[in-house]
Structures are given as C-alpha cells and as structure tokens.
C-alpha cells in the first residue's frame, strides 16, 4: 500500500512523560498524521512542540476538568472518535486509547506502556481512592469494576501489540491474553553525556515523588548509611520525603534540563528501587556514563546489564539496598561501556524499529 493514511491516538496529553515521548517519536515519523486524544493541555506539553492537527474529545471542553476526574468517561470518549478514513491507527496507551473503534480493514497497532493500572493493579486503585472521601470509595470500586470489563474487551480490538519491556509483555499476556513484540521506549541519549573528571561524591535519584517509586526507602537507607544523596523531583510525597531526610540527603525539587544533565554526569551512581514498566531515567543516567543500582524486577531487567551498567538488588528493603550500595562501593565501572550500552535505546533506533514493525505488519495484514 502506497502512502497509507495514518492516525495517532493518545490517552490524554496533559503532562509530558514516557507515553508522550512515544507520541513525539510517532509524530516525527508521521508528521502529517493527526493526533486524537481525550484531553490536551498545550501549556504543559511544550516538549511536543507546536502541534496543529490535534483532535480532542468532548471531555476537553469541560471547564477546569482534570483527566483524573474523568476516568469513568474516558472509554465512551475514545469510542466516539471517527477513524474510518485511516489505513493505520497507531496508539500509545497506558489507559484507554487502545479502545478506539476502527473498521475491519484498518490496522490498529498499540504501543502499550502498561495494562490499565487502576483496573488491574489493586495498589494503584487503592492509592487513587485515598484521594476521595471515604463515602465514595464503594461507588468508585464499582465503577472501576465496569471499566475493567470494558478494558479487557477493548484490548481485543487491537490487531498488533508492542510492549515497552519484557515485563509489560508478560502483563499484556496475563491480563489480555494477547502476544506482543517488545520495543523499548525512546531515550534522548544525546541530551546526557559523560564529563571528564566527574565529582562522583554523591548518589542520585530522580522521579516523581509518589509512593510506588519508593523514595521513602531511598531516604531511609541513606539516613542509615550516612552517604551523600541528592533527590530530584516533586510530587504528592514531597513534604513527607523532605521531612524524613537527614543532613546528608538533599531534596532538590524541580531542576532545569542543564542542571539534571550535570547531576547525572557527576553522580557516583543512580538509585532505582521501584518496579517500573520500562524506566527511562536510569537510561538517561547511563547515557551520562553513570552506573545504576536497581531492583531486579520490571523494565530494568531489559535495560541493564549486571556488572557492566550497574548492579541489581533483590528486595525493596533497607537491608538489601544497603548491601547493594556497600557492594557497589568496592566495584569499578567503565564509563564508555555504560554509555555505549545506552545508545541502543536512543530515540532514532526506536523510530527505526517502529517503522520496520509497521511496514512488516501492514504487509501481512493486507494479505
């Protein structure tokens, strides 16, 4: 098929993160393709550049609404998109975008960051529920049960799945009973580079300060061992983490891109104790030539190489993380090998793999 007509679909575009970086790469590949999404906040999506061809759902017209308030309405919103004129639909999904309805001769490829967490992972649902008055908890659980049923059915509409890690490929199989092809998400490795004579006098952790990312575990561990640590990030747990930290732990909050690059390049190692679907920030640190101390679960198993780009630890405990740091202190790592390893995850490699996957699947789909 010459010049197939392509549409890109996103859950929502209200904050820039991993899913949005995939949308950005899709847009680079197919600059003429329109982007369909439930809600769009241009002021918070400046990293995507000035996009003109964005189609939003009726939810975007609700004044002052946030996507977190409208999860129950999201399935209906994506099903209302009219995509009949497209030969290929390319969705970047961690929630509802896989549920768009396409005609039989449209190839729908879903890049899945995770099955819908609040439907399938009880810890995520309970974290969200706590933000609402207790009287509403029963109602929310009943609504989520209906969304879960919808999500399974919607997942069967997709023709081909791409998972962002082997871990998520397993989750897609577990919850949706669908096979997938793994393509790791894009990393802008050129933004982060090694420096000569790095200071290497502090450890570093970066991310949104929310419970599952285990910043409390990091702080408790460094409070105990007394080594210097810097934390970059903001979020609901900011005050809690700030109050926990002893004098050897510095909470930096939000920093500029240039400051972050400098921190990556000069840290002794990057601490990553959470279970992530993929995990972009460790690869950013690797791009700067710095080793990682990571939990041996989730996407880190795809992105790290034990003894070359860092080391793993077993359990999310102060004891295990402390032992790993102690072991790390006696090791040496090759900056060039770490940097070279990160390049395989670069955004340009990602785009090449996505384009090849689409071309191959389009041929087999049309036959």
Edge-to-edge strand list for the sheet holding 35-37? 54-56, 35-37, 6-10, 88-93, 107-112, 160-163, 181-182
Residue 309: which of 273, 276, 333 has the closest Cα? 333
Q: Are residues 320 and 358 located together in one domain of the fold?
A: no
Q: Name the more confident of 57 and 52.
A: 57
Q: How many domains does the chain have?
A: 2
Q: The tokens of 353 are what? A: 């793999």
State pLDDT tens for residues 313-332. 999 999 999 999 999 999 99
- Would the pLDDT of 72 be above 90? no
Q: Are residues 112 and 231 in the same domain?
A: no
Residues 21 and 70 in one domain: yes
SS3 91: strand
Is pTM, for the whole model, over 0.85?
A: yes
Q: What is the pLDDT of residues 343-356, one digit of tens each?
A: 999 999 999 999 99
Cα–Cα distance measured from residue 167 to residue 155, given in angstroms and rounded to the nearest whole number: 18
Model confidence at 337: pLDDT above 80: yes
- State the CB neighbour count (10 A cutoff) for residue 342: 23
Assess whether pLDDT exceeds 80 at residue 67: no
What are the angstrom distances between the C-alpha of 252 and each of 15, 161, 202, 239, 258? 21, 38, 13, 12, 14
Judge if 13 and 99 occupy the same domain. Answer: yes
Task: Give the separation between CA 284 and CA 302, rounded to whole angstroms.
Answer: 15
The model's confidence at residue 165, banded by pLDDT at 50, 70 and 90, is: very high
Q: Indicate if the pLDDT at residue 125 is higher than 70.
A: no
Kindly state the tokens that stand for 205. 């952790």
Q: Is residue 46 part of a domain?
A: yes
Q: Are residues 179 and 234 in the same domain?
A: no
80 and 173 share a domain? yes
Q: Which residue has the higher pLDDT, 81 or 68?
A: 81
Are 193 and 176 in the same domain? no
Q: What is the CATH number of the domain that holds 298?
A: 3.40.50.2000
Residue 1, pLDDT > 70, answer no
Q: Could you tell me if 354 and 240 lie in one domain?
A: no
H or E segment and range at residue 107: strand 107-112
Asked whether 219 and 211 are in contact (CB, 8 A), the reply is no
Tell me how far apart the alpha carbons of residues 74 and 35 are, in angstroms, rounded to a whole number: 16
Residues 28 and 153 in one domain: yes
pLDDT, one tens digit per residue, over 214-244 is 999 999 999 999 999 999 999 889 999 999 9
Is residue 326 domain-shared with residue 358, that is, in the same domain? no
Please give the residue range of the domain that contains residue 234: 189-343
Residue 208 lies in a domain: yes
What pLDDT, on a 0 to 100 scale, did the predictor assign at position 154? 97
- Burial (CB count within 10 angstroms: exposed 0-12, middle 13-18, buried 19+), residue 189: buried
Same domain for 215 and 154: no
Examine the pLDDT at 336 and tell me if it is beyond 70.
yes
Confidence of residue 50 (pLDDT cuts 50, 70, 90): low
Q: Please, which residues have CB within 8 angstroms of residue 111's CB and are 6 or more apart in sequence? A: 22, 90, 91, 92, 93, 162, 164, 183, 354
Residue 119 counted as domain residue: yes
Q: Average pLDDT, whole number, for the chain?
A: 92
What pLDDT sits at residue 236? Answer: 87
Between helix 166-176 and helix 137-155 the angle, nearest 10°, is: 100
How far is CA 27 from its chain centroid?
Answer: 18
Considering the domain architecture, whether residues 333 and 209 belong to the same structural domain is answered as yes
Question: Is residue 1 in a domain?
Answer: no
């Amino acid at each position: 098929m010459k010049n197939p007509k392509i549409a890109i679909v996103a859950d929502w575009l209200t904050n820039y993160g991993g899913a949005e970086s995939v949308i950005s790469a899709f847009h680079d590949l197919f600059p003429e393709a329109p982007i369909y999404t439930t809600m769009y906040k241009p002021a918070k999506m400046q990293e995507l550049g000035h996009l003109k061809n964005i189609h939003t759902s009726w939810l975007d017209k609700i004044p002052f609404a946030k996507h977190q308030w409208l999860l129950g309405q999201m399935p209906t919103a994506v099903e209302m998109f009219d995509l009949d004129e497209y030969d290929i639909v390319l969705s970047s999904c961690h929630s509802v975008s896989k549920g768009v309805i396409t005609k039989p001769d449209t190839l729908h490829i879903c890049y899945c960051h995770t099955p819908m967490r609040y439907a399938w992972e009880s810890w995520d649902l309970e974290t969200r529920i706590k933000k609402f008055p207790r009287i509403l908890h029963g109602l929310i659980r009943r609504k989520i049960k209906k969304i879960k049923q919808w999500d399974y059915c919607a997942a069967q509409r997709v023709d081909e799945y791409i998972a962002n890690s082997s871990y998520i490929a397993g989750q897609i199989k577990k919850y949706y009973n669908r096979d997938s092809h793994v393509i790791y998400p894009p990393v802008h490795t050129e933004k982060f580079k090694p420096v000569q004579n790095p200071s290497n006098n502090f450890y570093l952790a970066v991310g949104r300060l929310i419970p599952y990312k285990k910043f409390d575990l990091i702080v408790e561990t460094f409070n105990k061992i007394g080594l210097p640590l810097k934390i970059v990030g903001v979020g609901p747990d900011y005050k809690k983490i700030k109050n926990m930290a002893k004098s050897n732990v510095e909470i930096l909050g939000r920093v500029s891109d240039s400051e972050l690059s400098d921190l990556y390049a000069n840290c002794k190692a990057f601490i990553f104790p959470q279970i992530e679907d993929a995990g972009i920030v460790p690869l950013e640190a690797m791009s700067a030539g710095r080793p990682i101390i990571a939990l041996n679960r989730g996407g880190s198993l795809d992105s790290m190489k034990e003894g070359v780009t860092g080391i793993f630890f077993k359990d999310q405990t102060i004891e295990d993380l402390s032992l790993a740091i102690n072991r790390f202190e006696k090791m040496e790592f090759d900056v060039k090998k770490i940097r070279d390893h990160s390049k395989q995850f670069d955004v340009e490699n990602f785009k090449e793999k996505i384009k090849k996957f689409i071309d191959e699947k389009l041929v087999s789909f049309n036959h």
